[in-house]
Amino acid sequence: MAPQKFADLGKEARDLINKNFHNGLFKIEANHASENGMKFKTEGSHNTENGDVAASLETKCTIAPYGIAVTKKWHTDNILTSTIGIQDKLVPGLKVDLDTNVAIATSKTAMKLKTAYAHEMIHATVDMDVAASPTFNVSGVAAYQGVHAGVQAAIGENFKLQSNNFGLAYKAGDLIINAGLSGAKYTGSIHHSVNKDLTAAAAVDYSADGGTSLTLCAKYATDEHTSIKAKLDNNLRFGTAYVQTVRPGVTLTASGLINLKALDQGGHKIGLMLNFDA
């Protein structure tokens, strides 16, 4: 099995800490897959702080015999995005995507060509900004006996190095440890599946400008239809999330965020999401 790409190093801890916490938002999402392979995804959200309402519609068509997938998405900001991709057909393990982003009101266009090659011990990516000045983002992750080492770099005009990042992860059974360096920012995380019902994670960020942040999070599945999450950071912001499968294909998520430093000053947030899958 190929290692993760660079952007996904530490993803397990990030997902546990960030997913299901829709604080300050009321959201609804509907997914539908037709018999001919077409997939539809509709999202809508209401921001309780500023009153903004946003929605999007996404369609995805897969032509399996040719390894081609076409995805189109429209957003209420009048942004139209599309992705045309082909996987494992040109070369086994190679995926090529062409992403296009068009602002309908201004006709401003962005276009990126993304390639990824995954093998048993390596996962490499090369992304190129096609519409703007030539910029390349390259990354590579090599894995050996549970150790994943990766590097990512942005290369601008005249092949000038603009930024470079480093990542290291260790995976052993139910334990995942990750560390990263991005400029002057250091990151680290631990993800541990304690048992089939309990999962825990911790993440720390340090930078000379932004100081240090630490977040602890745990998820407990009370049964096969219900799970509870809780997290706490070093600023004493306490978040909770409750995920309930109401019936097959219908999931309700309720979340909240409390500032324990200022319980009497307001600013606390709640969130709600309803998901339909058919």
Q: What is the pLDDT of residues 88-132, one digit of tens each?
A: 998 999 999 999 999 988 888 999 999 999 998 999 999 998 877
Q: Is residue 1 part of a domain?
A: no
How many domains does the chain fold into? Answer: 1
Q: Residue 253's closest CA among 28, 50, 48, 14?
A: 28
Angstrom distance (rounded) from CA 197 to CA 226:
11
Average pLDDT over residues 225-230: 97
- Give residue-wise pLDDT tens across range 169-213: 999 999 999 999 998 899 999 999 999 999 999 999 999 887 899
> Residue 22 falls within a domain, yes or no?
yes
Report residue 19's pLDDT band, with 50, 70 and 90 as the boundaries: very high
For residue 226, report the phi and psi dihedrals to the nearest 5 degrees: -135, 140
Q: For residue 254, give the CATH number of its domain.
A: 2.40.160.10
Asked if residue 147 belongs to a domain, the reply is yes
At 81, is the pLDDT very low, low, confident or very high (cuts 50, 70, 90)?
Answer: very high
pLDDT tens-digit series, residues 245-269: 999 999 999 999 999 988 888 778 9
Asked, for residue 213, whether it belongs to a domain, the answer is yes
Structure tokens at 154: 């942005």
Query: Residue 14: enclosing H or E segment and its boundaries?
Result: helix 11-18
Question: Is 170 a member of any domain?
Answer: yes
Which residue, among 249, 217, 248, 242, has the nearest Cα to 227 in the 3D structure?
A: 242
Contact (CB, 8 A) for 36 and 59: no
Report in angstroms the alpha-carbon separations of 160 from 89, 120, 133, 136, 153.
Answer: 33, 31, 13, 10, 10
Q: Which domain, by its residues, includes 227?
A: 6-277
Residue 89 lies in a domain: yes
Number of helices and strands in the chain (H, E): 1, 19
Segment 269-273 shows an average pLDDT of 96
Q: Is residue 27 part of a domain?
A: yes
